[in-house]
Chains A and B, each alone.
Chain A
């Protein structure tokens, strides 16, 4: 036993470390953990690296998946900043004086989200009528999570179908679904099919209910913000802003709203203020909404959130600037359009199946059904898009394909060559 431990035990007046656990009754004690002994660092690194080597990355295998997680290029500066251990080994900035750096970075993140979304306020990330309208064409896990988070509210969801020709929300169906019991309407732009939702104004005009719009933050660079259309709340997946896919986590929940809703907003929020000397300073604010103050009446139970991803997003947006972000957004559209056109040329395939403007995803149909195509591609070391049949039975012959600036010409050529086999 190291000598400082002996000294400390003596100081307390104890004989052994076991004495420190004398208050744990014998009936609940365990002799030890039933796990192997520890290993040296190099052995662990080798073992975990080797285990993970069984994964095929999107570099090993051209992959055309999106659906909420995207393989955008991340400038090395982003990781250099989030790897600053002053940031990543800190916690929630409860003590503002010693945490100004993180607080300013998070406030800048909030400001950037407001700019992208056209809202007044944003939180530093997360995770009330009777019926909330949601699109039927919605990523299935979003629907499933929503259901679990509505349990305590008494709010039910009602689905609004999409227009079979355009892939946008069916406005006729929306009007049928709207009623006095509706407290909110949620739509996405671009929507689940990658199709731009061009009817934001019409949807806003159709109802006085809370209007929530889900966005892709990169598309926002060239698309009018939901705030321009009278949205109350804007949400979105922030992973494309400088965070790798990481097999689906961590993710960054963007949440921004109009000023009138800020005192009901969930999660951590940073405010601008001043210090005792009158200098500009930042601190967490509106904490009376939060669990550590308001407990069961809190607006959410959020404690740990996704701050480091917010820092990554702020860094990513700063490195790109408006010029770079617009370039990325435009490039994504051109690439998706080009890819869709190339697929569409192959006999038997239709892409995109919905007419009109898309962002970086689109739906591909094969006349004999997509699942067989998907399996064949996998055998050839190419990963096709997300098969849609499980969620939307009418699209069982289709899949959602995505592209980003990271798809090489070779990757695209390999996909097209394999699809040719189904001509």
Chain B
């Protein structure tokens, strides 16, 4: 497959010729001390602004553009009908402080989504408030801590496997907890290591299942027993939920807390990095600690329940990323229980197919069967002077977004591939063929890749050494590179 990305030598907004400023008298409106002089936002014709951002969009690669096997991020097709629904005035033009009686449709949708997500996860109650997965983790840990405190226990140790997402470490770190990292054994949690780490200080053990290697932790019930015997809680990082829909659930695996990434499993668009949505589900014993408000139903209709004395309070304004919650709700109705199970079936089939076909091209450590993703290693190519980053950059020349690279850390020269369910066999075959071809190419071609993208390899070291984060900083620094 050949590919050439558009390139426009598009000036910065601030470099465009601005129409003259129109003076405006605000002397009656703003006190003298606060009156602004000068505002350097260019005045451009609307058609020129649209062209500017359209050109920029052509120098960007999305799922609609091509295959995007970015491991752990679940870059699958975002249905278009959910975009239309989210743009309805009955979504866009309702204010979050409106009287409950005037937003019964929105509250009903939230109420039903709470229930649906609880069912999918095998949990008893769900909050839709967190804005994304990492905030879900933070919320889950606050809930865990409140639960222990309520029982008169102070626990401040979070155990994490070495395969855990960076966000797990960061969430626990922000909360000031002690982090105990345990090494994996054969790509799975080492029960012995977990057993020696768990104790009366254990707040929670956070686990992704299947883990970031795409391996199902088949000893999950034993893991739960160890954690629970120590008095800790078991936290399910829902980043990999796309692998298990209709096959198992966090509740069935004895997890106590789970966060969902609606922008992954339930395909709300990733938006170039967000917004997402990170609801959190819990078992009954933890329900009192969920953030306020929950949406409840009583004789008078749907309402926002703030009367929750043990609640941890709030983690963000209002009720969550409503416009995303609408999309996820509609997607779930569209797929249904049967369709969601097929989602995981095909996601797991696609991943295993690609893994199988890459045998002999790249190493895939830790046995065979995977769930929705797998981690290959380019370590054996080091003798040719090729690193994973080179493979990743070269893949772009063939019209693919590279997989996640250099994660998880326990695999050397890691390349984490998640095809998702919304890809055809032809696409997967073509990707494998491209990667096979690349591995056999002249190493210099790889090291100088990409060649067909809008720009050539970007100097990230320079960007970090002399940070230029705004037009203002660019002006203050040396003349900007042209």
Contacts and interface: CB of A to CB of B under 8 A. Distances in A.
B221 A319 contact: no
Given A91-B73, A285-B467, A30 B248 contact: yes
* Residue in A20, A84, A115, A324 whose Cβ sees the most chain B Cβ within 10 Å: A20
A245 B453 CA distance: 37
Nearest to A295: B169
A7 interface: yes
Size class of the B contact interface (CB-based, 8 Å)? 35 or more
A90 B270 contact: yes
B24 A20 contact: no
B269 A88 contact: yes
A14 B351 CA distance: 14
Interface stretch (A42-50, A157-165, A346-354, A412-420): A42-50
Contact of B464 (A58, A106, A285): A285
B480 A280 contact: yes
* Residue in A100, A107, A196, A324 whose Cβ sees the most chain B Cβ within 10 Å: A100
A41 B334 contact: yes
A259 interface: yes
Interface stretch (A180-188, A204-212, A286-294, A362-370): A286-294
B283 interface: no
Contacts of B273: 91-93, 102, 124, 268, 304-308
A111 B173 contact: no
B386 interface: no
A196 B31 CA distance: 8
* Residue in B35, B171, B325 whose Cβ sees the most chain A Cβ within 10 Å: B171
B380 interface: no
A17 B116 CA distance: 25
Contacts of B195: none
B221 A273 contact: no
Contact of B29 (A269, A308, A334): A334
A325 B340 contact: no
A162 B210 CA distance: 53
A301 B134 contact: yes
B318 A151 contact: no
Contacts of B120: 33, 35
Interface string B231-252: 0000000000000111111001
B275 A306 contact: yes
A62 to B, nearest CB: 12
Nearest to A121: B469
Contacts of A224: 33-37
Contacts of A101: 55-60, 454
A340 B186 CA distance: 69
B470 A110 contact: yes
B206 to A, nearest CB: 12
A9 B470 contact: no
B41 interface: yes
B253 interface: yes
A67 interface: yes
A1 to B, nearest CB: 10
B248 to A, nearest CB: 5
Interface stretch (A128-136, A137-145, A171-179): A137-145
A36 B455 CA distance: 48
Given A34-B337, A49-B88, A97 B456 contact: yes
A423 interface: no
A304 B329 CA distance: 20
Contact of A304 (B49, B62, B133, B458): B133
Contact of A32 (B330, B341, B396, B472): B341
Contacts of A323: 19, 21-22, 24, 43
B471 A114 contact: yes
Nearest to B128: A249
Interface string A53-69: 11111110101010111
B41 A325 contact: yes
A408 interface: no
Contacts of B334: 38-41, 44
A93 B324 CA distance: 21
A309 B173 contact: no
Given A104-B12, A275-B457, A315 B53 contact: yes
Interface in A311-369: 311, 314-315, 317-327, 330, 333-334, 337, 356-357
Interface string B329-356: 1101111111111000110111011001
Interface in A10-35: 11-12, 14, 17, 20-25, 27-30, 32-35
A9 B352 CA distance: 9
Nearest to B396: A98
B81 A44 contact: yes
Contacts of A297: 173
A296 to B, nearest CB: 3
Contacts of B22: 323
B392 interface: yes
B109 A148 contact: no
Interface string B131-152: 1111101100010000000000
A311 B18 CA distance: 20
A48 B470 contact: no
A86 B105 contact: no
B14 interface: yes
Nearest to B346: A5
B358 interface: no
Contacts of B95: 58, 63, 65, 69, 71, 245, 247-248, 383
Interface in B63-95: 63-65, 68, 70, 73, 75, 78-79, 81, 83-95
* Residue in B43, B215, B396 whose Cβ sees the most chain A Cβ within 10 Å: B43
Give the 8 A-B residue pairs with the shortest CB-CB distance, closest first: A248-B96, A248-B318, A38-B336, A296-B173, A308-B271, A152-B176, A321-B43, A89-B62
10 contacts: A37-B338, A90-B63, A102-B272, A222-B30, A245-B94, A250-B274, A251-B131, A311-B272, A333-B30, A334-B29
Given A56-B98, A250-B324, 7 more contacts: A89-B65, A141-B318, A251-B316, A272-B480, A295-B169, A318-B44, A325-B39
